[in-house]
């Protein structure tokens, strides 16, 4: 089982020019390609946490931005996307899924999964301290649909207030959450998929095979 130690930091602004110094305290975690997709792009992620939430930074090599959706809550997984799954309490068959496109569209949902039968529920009062803060950028081209690029980056902050009602939230130092980080790319038509914890294969919702986040000081 894939594991990562997540280090604690003071809350910070994702748009602050000094953010890169904060991210230097986190290790890079490489995502492995799963399934039969042909693309060979490198994908990696960093994770940090604070008293108020959990931070993610994802870097993805790419060639074309296969993104046309320009509304939040669309079916972003049908185009280029990064995804995070958080299962804080293993006694519950509920977990949180967050999707973000290179264009900055997002999809946060709570997923009840009963023996492989699942559906996502959109958050209520998704604003203020419950809103996921996010920033995306593109390297080697323009941030627009179908642009030729060399890569893209997403950074986002998931507040613990959004996860209210799930067990083991907020975590304390020493707490363990099950989790995974994914990416889907459509440059070759058929999707290519990557996972931080490849034990799930292409079944992203196989939550009992998620990896482990260990929260540390």
Q: How many CB atoms lie within 10 A of CB 102?
A: 26
Of 107, 75, 101, 67, residue with least CA distance to 183: 101
Give the integer Cα–Cα distance in Å for 188 and 198: 21
Q: Which helix (H) or strand (E) holds 132?
A: none
Domain that holds residue 117: 3-216
Write down the pLDDT at residue 121.
95
CATH number at residue 197: 2.60.40.1190
Q: Which helix (H) or strand (E) holds 72?
A: none
Q: pLDDT in tens for each of the 217 residues of the chain?
A: 899 999 999 999 999 988 889 999 999 999 999 999 999 999 999 999 999 999 999 999 999 999 999 999 999 999 999 999 999 999 999 999 999 999 999 999 999 998 888 889 999 999 999 999 999 999 999 999 999 999 999 999 999 999 999 999 999 999 999 999 999 999 988 899 999 999 999 999 999 999 999 999 9
Write down the pLDDT at residue 188.
86
Write down the pLDDT at residue 159.
98
CB 202 within 8 A of CB 214: no
Write down the pLDDT at residue 141.
97
The phi, psi pair for 102, rounded to 5°, reads -60, -20
Triad 74, 76, 77: Cα angle to 5°? 135
How many domains would you assign to the chain?
A: 1
Q: How many CB atoms lie within 10 A of CB 155?
A: 20
105 SS3 class: coil
Write down the pLDDT at residue 83.
98
The 8-class DSSP code of residue 22 comes to H
Write down the pLDDT at residue 16.
92
CB 97 within 8 A of CB 120: yes
Over its C-alpha atoms, the chain yields an Rg (Å, rounded) of: 16
């Amino acid at each position: 089982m894939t594991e990562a130690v997540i280090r604690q930091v003071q809350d910070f602004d994702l748009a602050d020019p000094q953010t890169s110094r904060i991210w230097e305290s986190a290790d890079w975690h490489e995502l492995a390609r799963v399934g039969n997709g042909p693309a060979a792009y490198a994908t990696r992620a960093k994770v940090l946490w604070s008293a108020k939430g959990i931070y993610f930074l994802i870097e993805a090599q790419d060639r074309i931005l296969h993104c046309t959706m320009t509304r939040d809550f669309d079916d972003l997984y049908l185009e280029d996307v990064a995804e995070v799954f958080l299962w804080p309490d293993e006694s519950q068959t509920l977990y949180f899924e967050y999707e973000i496109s290179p264009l900055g569209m997002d999809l946060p949902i709570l997923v009840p999964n009963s023996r492989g039968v699942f559906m996502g529920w959109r958050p209520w009062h998704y604003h203020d301290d419950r809103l996921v803060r996010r920033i995306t950028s593109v390297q080697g081209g323009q941030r627009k649909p179908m642009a030729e690029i060399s890569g893209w980056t997403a950074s986002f902050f998931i507040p613990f207030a959004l996860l209210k009602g799930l067990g083991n939230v907020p975590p304390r130092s020493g707490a363990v959450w099950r989790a995974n980080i994914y990416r889907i790319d459509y440059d070759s038509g058929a999707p290519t998929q990557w996972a931080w914890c490849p034990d799930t294969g292409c079944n992203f919702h196989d939550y009992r095979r998620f990896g482990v986040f260990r929260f540390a000081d």
